[in-house]
Amino acid sequence: MKILVTNDDGVTAPGLAALRAVAKNFGDVTVVAPDSHQSGASHAITLSGLTVRRTRVERDESFDAIAVEGRPADCVRVAILGLLDDPPDLVLSGINAGANVGIHVFYSGTVAAAAEAVMLGVPAVAFSLAVGSTPPDFRPAIETCSKVLARLIERGLSPSDLINVNLPERRAAKGIRIVRQSRARSRDRYRLSNASEREEYLIKGGGFHAPSRDTDIALLSKGYLTITPLHVDRTAHDKLDEWNGDHWADLLG
């Protein structure tokens, strides 16, 4: 199996090395990742020239990678549509330092890179690790992610599969829950910085307003590993019939 590994925390991020270690249990791995930190980049792409650089990442296990001066989605696009001779069978994105649950999925470069793969016909899994007050330790996550990926592959992945996996902060998850993405509103506020000469606002707060109990946010915070299958199609399918029954026919005469 040919696997493309990417992330949004950048090519030198420890989570990327961890995900590469996961991926190499399953096939031939190519790493194409942003050369700088791109968290919150969402699904942005670069329309001007995209510079790539061949590099060697020195970690516990060093590896070759292609660093892209661009966004996470750029990495997947330039890999599949330019760099690689053949498309990969699977794209893995992460392991992100920080959960990507609820509406944060929309801001996430990690999830966007996976979504880009699915848009190009390649199944993809995004992995994120909840982060608390201490620096994240990705090493225990390697085994957990490997087990989850083995099960996903065993079940069979189709080109439309876009899977968002979040690991709890503590080492041993209480269990695994297949759950929906929460729509709970963010508690973020913007506050004027005292430290800046300029009028600078900083995000304060964090967290969400009362997420439903059966959602990714709630179960991850309770210590479960959550798996949420996502759609690239953002149509509100439940609205189609309702709106089609409405009075549009006469509008344009």
Distance CA(135)–CA(15), nearest Å, equals 12
Residue (22 or 157) nearer to Mn ion, CB = 22
Q: How far is the CB of 253 from Mn ion (least distance, A)?
A: 51
Residue nearest Mn ion, Cβ-based: 39
The answer to whether 8 contacts Mn ion (rule: CB under 5 A) is: yes
Instruction: Choose between 157 and 169: whose C-beta lies nearer to Mn ion.
Output: 169
What is the C-alpha separation between 185 and 188, in angstroms, rounded?
9
* 128 lines the binding site for Mn ion (CB under 5 A): no
Cis omega (within 30 of 0) for bond into 80: no
Out of 6, 42, 96, 100, the only residue in the binding site for Mn ion (CB under 5 A) is 96
x/- mask, Mn ion, residues 50-89, rule CB under 5 A, reads ----------------------------------------
CB of 167 to Mn ion, least distance (A): 14
Alpha carbon distance 114, 157 (integer Å): 14
Rounded Cα distance, 153 and 26, in Å: 9
The CB-of-13 to Mn ion minimum distance in angstroms stands at: 8
C-beta of 57 vs 157, nearer to Mn ion: 57
Does residue number 39 form part of the binding site for Mn ion (CB under 5 A)?
A: yes
Which region, judged by CB under 5 A, interacts with Mn ion, from 74-82, 93-101, 183-191, 203-211? Answer: 93-101
* The only residue of 5, 9, 41, 173 in contact with Mn ion, by rule CB under 5 A: 9
Please report, as ranges, the residues that interact with Mn ion according to CB under 5 A.
8-9, 39, 96
